[in-house]
A = this chain, B = another copy of it.
Amino acid sequence: MQKQIASRIEILKVSAHPVRIAILEELSKGVKCVSDFEEFLDISQPNISQHLAALRHAGIVDYFIDGRLRCYFLKNPLIIDLLEILKKDYPHELPGPECCPATKKGTYPGERRR
In the complex, the chain B residue whose C-beta lies closest to that of A61 is B94
Interface size class of A (residues with CB under 8 A): 35 or more
Task: Please list 18 pairs of residues, one from A and one from B, whose beta carbons are closer than 8 Å in the complex, sorted by A's number.
Answer: A5-B21, A12-B12, A12-B82, A13-B13, A15-B16, A62-B96, A63-B104, A65-B104, A66-B107, A67-B114, A73-B97, A74-B94, A76-B90, A77-B90, A77-B92, A78-B88, A78-B90, A80-B94
The chain A residues found within 8 Å of chain B, CB to CB, are 1, 5-6, 8-9, 12-13, 15-18, 21-22, 30-33, 35-36, 62-67, 69, 71, 73-78, 80-82, 85-88, 90, 92-94, 96-97, 99-101, 103-110, 112, 114
